[in-house]
Amino acid sequence: MTTIEDVARLAEVSTSTVSYALSGKRPISATTRRRIEAAVAELGYRPHAGAKALASARSDVIGLMVPLRAGIDVTVIMQFAGGVVLRAREHQHDVLLLTKDDLDGLERVTDGSMVDALVVMDVEADDARVPILQRTRQPSVLIGLPRMAAGLSCIDLDFEAAGRLAAHELARLGHQEIAMVGSPPEVLERHTSYADRVTRGFLGTADDEGVTARAVSCPVSPPEVDAVVERLLADSPGLTGLFVHNERALPHVLHALRERRRSVPKDVSLIALCPEDVALSQQVPLTSIDLPATTIGSLAVDMVMSRLADAAYPAETRLIAPTLTERASTRAPRGAR
Amino acid sequence: MTTIEDVARLAEVSTSTVSYALSGKRPISATTRRRIEAAVAELGYRPHAGAKALASARSDVIGLMVPLRAGIDVTVIMQFAGGVVLRAREHQHDVLLLTKDDLDGLERVTDGSMVDALVVMDVEADDARVPILQRTRQPSVLIGLPRMAAGLSCIDLDFEAAGRLAAHELARLGHQEIAMVGSPPEVLERHTSYADRVTRGFLGTADDEGVTARAVSCPVSPPEVDAVVERLLADSPGLTGLFVHNERALPHVLHALRERRRSVPKDVSLIALCPEDVALSQQVPLTSIDLPATTIGSLAVDMVMSRLADAAYPAETRLIAPTLTERASTRAPRGAR
DNA sequence: TATAAACGTCGAAGCGCTTCGACGATGAGC
DNA sequence: GCTCATCGTCGAAGCGCTTCGACGTTTATA
């Protein structure tokens, strides 16, 4: 292994000079800097991460807590993670992968100074991780909104606004009876914050606009989705507008409608809340509200880096405004004015 | 931050004794061990990861290189990653997330001693990472088979056997004209090793069994999949058996068949090569060859840990035998004997 | 032109941990 | 009863890096 001392010897300077040249924390003359850079290149020097962490109290690693049990909207998770990793690299940081339920792991990496900061995904209303995060030295940002988050930064799509937007758009098109197909029961039971919020927004706005609306939970297996759609159509014969926030059920919802001879968008208009590529890879390109997971991941990293750079930087909550893109799955209902 | 010295003071022993008690590398009397454990618990002591890494030349972290650009079989990737993380924890290791194409990152974490070992996913025939891995001190295991892998361990599903198994099963059922719907063109162009291997197995065995077979590449967007199926049916009017190794195209293949009034399995038998939950979440439960991604991820970690524990442990290549589970998407063709 | 400020570099002191060698105290073997 | 290994513990020497204070040397400032 080549050390900073090797570099110093070859460049004929002291190790501290090498350190300063590399970190830029003190001015170094152009000529010695060049000599040092040459030595670094020649030896292929890379600082030892552990030594650096020990001496500087910075590991240059951020922790990312992901729900890793396959199943829940894998696409979304991967996009978040992708955004986080990419942006972390731009900030010269690596990413340590932690699983959502590994509370002990969380304490291990914070108390053991493995990570400088944390990004936490899939936050629930009363998330067990929140109290731990509140008492660690490391700044963290939650993707999602817990009930209580004093001192913690949060970021998320403004799901409530997304629900409102969907209801508003369906109402605007003239739909009088609409419904939301939401998250699987497990998710709702955990009170994963976004699920509650989107429902509230949807139902509230429908109410305001004088439109009949309901919201149903929806599992993800084809037969169960089919049953949900069956029941929905039976209970609401006049249903013409659907808002689906359930990535995995989405294709099966479309299939169930097709089976029942309900054409999208002729008989039923459908708005999806999902990543753009999911909306585009259905049989019909779906009018959708984008879930900009990559962007949110990147922003989460930016936030946490700001707090790392400046201890006085305040905790904040950011809600990303939803945008709706009209595609081929919505139109005015038959006989609308 | 509480240090080993705090623990030593409270337990009234030297720091080295604490270290030995915690690592178990030297015998410690039961009484002092108890005192130390009590002190550790009372202070909530966690060793500083950087200091430990510096002193012991072990970071207790393994690197995981993942193709993080969303798109390619997200489910599979997540399952691999899940298996890796879970098993790594069982070996007292954390996981550092690296992206596939970050070659510099690879060198940074190896040369900088950030990781003790590496698990590398989505390996191509001539993977640029292979030479780097060969010259690092850290052991690594590749998920996939590169053309040349001297000194590196590899593990993967035996994709060639999987191709053979699929062809054999279709032939056994009596299908005379079969086809394989394979990976997207991008994947094939990169010579991602599994794609080549599965095709070879499929065509070879079909040939041996005297069955007409072909293999086509297949993109993932619905219209493109539709076109592929269209062409396939046009070119092979007698086609009754299909083998699909393309998780993202899978639902659209099923849809395209349905559109053309080809019932599965009445008119066309279909075998999928994908994770079990994907096979089960289609409209028809699919006869499938399982891609045991979680298992492979776990095994990869076990392999790399063996090499870490024992420098003499040889590099090896392990191919997991495929298993086929019959479900509702296959049967003998009409009028077969 | 004298004087303070900024520049460029060095040496040394840690950061918190592991591990080697040493050393007294036991217990076994004969 | 004496030797010798083993046990249990300690002290000290690093691991490779950052950073503080110090100390010439320039360069501006008046």
Per residue in B49-101, pLDDT (tens digit) is: 999 999 999 999 999 999 987 667 889 999 999 999 999 999 999 999 999 99
Task: Spell out the residues 6+ positions from residue A85 whose beta carbon is closer than 8 angstroms to its own.
Answer: A64, A95, B68, B97, B99
Q: Is the pLDDT of residue B336 over 70?
A: no
Are residues A322 and A289 in contact, defined by beta-carbon separation less than 8 angstroms?
Answer: yes
Residue B117 and residue B305 in contact, taking contact as beta carbons nearer than 8 Å = yes
Residues of A in contact with B220 (CB under 8 A): 281
Residue A335, pLDDT above cutoff 80: no
Output the CA torsion sign for A180, A184, A185, A186.
negative
Please, which pLDDT band fits residue B8 given cuts at 50, 70 and 90?
very high
Those of residues 197-256 in B touching chain A at CB distance below 8 A are 220-222, 248, 251-252, 255
Q: Which residue, among A1, A59, A68, would best test binding to B if mutated, counting the most B CBs under 10 Å from its CB?
A: A68
**Nucleotide with smallest C1' distance to residue A54 CA:** C15
CA dihedral sign, ordered B112, B117, B123, B125: positive
Taking the CA of residue A50 and the nearest CA in chain B, the distance in Å comes to 4
Q: Is A39 left (phi over 0), alpha (psi -120 to 50) or beta?
A: alpha
Q: Please list every residue in chain B whose beta carbon sits closer than 8 Å to the beta carbon of residue A97.
A: 64, 81, 85, 94-97
Closest CA to A140 of A129, A156, A148: A129
Question: How far apart (Å, rounded) are the C-alpha atoms in residues A298 and A64?
Answer: 12
- One-letter amino acid of A106: L
pLDDT band, very low/low/confident/very high, at A180 (cuts 50, 70, 90): very high
Measured between alpha carbons, how far is B49 from B61 in angstroms, rounded to an integer?
10
- Please give the angle made by the CA atoms of A172, A177 and A182, to the nearest 5 degrees: 95
A9 in contact with nucleic chain D (CB within 7 A): no
| Interface check B105 vs A, CB under 8 A | yes
Phi, psi dihedrals of residue A67, rounded to the nearest 5°:
-75, 105
Partners of A2 in the β-ladder: none
| Residue B45 pLDDT | 97
Q: Which residue of B has its CA nearest to A249?
A: B281
Is strand C within 7 Å of residue B56 (CB)?
yes
**B97 touches A: beta carbon within 8 Å:** yes
- The answer to which of A186-195, A266-275, A307-316, B7-16 has the lowest mean pLDDT is A186-195
**B3–A contact, CB cutoff 8 A:** no
Examine the pLDDT at A293 and tell me if it is beyond 80: yes
Strands B117-120 and B177-181 come out as: unpaired
For the segment B304-334, what is each residue's pLDDT rounded down to a tens digit?
A: 999 999 989 999 999 999 999 999 999 999 8
Contacts of A51 in chain B (CB under 8 A): 50, 54
| Strand D within 7 A of B55 CB | yes
Asked if the C-beta of A25 comes within 8 angstroms of chain B's C-beta atoms, the answer is: no
Q: Which domains does chain B have, with CATH numbers?
A: 4-47 (1.10.260.40), 61-157+293-320 (3.40.50.2300), 159-291 (3.40.50.2300)
Compute the distance between CA of residue A138 and CA of residue A136 in angstroms, rounded to an integer. Answer: 5
Nearest by Cα to A63 from A88, A91, A90: A88
Q: Which nucleotides of C are covered by protein (CB under 7 A)?
A: 7-12, 14-21
Residue B149: CA count within 13 A, CB half-sphere: 24
Of the pLDDT bands very low, low, confident and very high (cuts 50, 70, 90), residue A73 is confident
Alpha-carbon distance of B317 to A20, in angstroms, equals 45
Q: Say which of B69, B74, B294 has its CB closest to residue A75.
A: B74
Instruction: Tell me whether A263 touches chain B (CB under 8 Å).
Output: no
CA A196 – CA A201 distance, rounded (Å): 9
Distance (Å, whole) CA B42 – CA A158: 43
Q: How far is CA A158 from CA A161, A286, A314, in A?
A: 5, 20, 20
CB-to-strand D under 7 Å, chain A 269-328: none
List, in order, residues 6 or more apart from B271 with CB less than 8 Å away.
B166, B169, B170, B241, B242, B243, B244, B286, B287, B288, B289, B324, B329, B330
| Residues of chain A above pLDDT 90, percent | 91
Task: Provide the pLDDT for residue B189.
Answer: 84
- The answer to whether A107 contacts B46, with C-beta atoms less than 8 Å apart, is yes
* pTM exceeds 0.85, yes or no: yes
The contacts found for B117-120 with CB under 8 angstroms, 24 or more apart, are B117/B62, B117/B63, B117/B141, B117/B304, B117/B305, B117/B307, B117/B308, B118/B62, B118/B63, B118/B64, B118/B65, B118/B304, B119/B62, B119/B63, B119/B64, B119/B65, B119/B84, B119/B143, B119/B297, B119/B300, B119/B301, B119/B304, B120/B65, B120/B144
Token pair of B297, please? 């991820």
Encode pLDDT of B228-286 as tens digits.
Answer: 999 999 999 999 999 999 999 999 999 999 999 999 999 999 999 999 999 999 999 99
Q: Count the Cβ atoms, other than its own, within 10 Å of residue B20.
A: 18
SS3 state of residue A241 = strand
Of all nucleotides, the one whose C1′ comes closest to residue A22's CA is D18
Strand D closer than 7 A to residue A49 Cβ: no
Quick: pLDDT tens for B138-167: 999 999 999 999 999 999 999 999 999 999
Helix locations, chain B, DSSP H: 4-11, 15-23, 30-43, 49-56, 74-90, 103-111, 129-135, 159-173, 185-189, 193-208, 222-235, 250-259, 276-280, 293-309
Q: What is the pLDDT of residue A39?
A: 97
Please tell me whether any atom of strand C lies within 7 Å of the Cβ of A17.
yes
- Would the CB atoms of B49 and A50 count as touching at under 8 Å? yes
Q: Do A51 and B50 touch (CB under 8 A)?
A: yes
Residue with CA nearest C1' of nucleotide C9: A17
CB B12 within 7 Å, strand D: yes
Q: Distance in angstroms, CA of A55 to C1' of D29?
A: 39
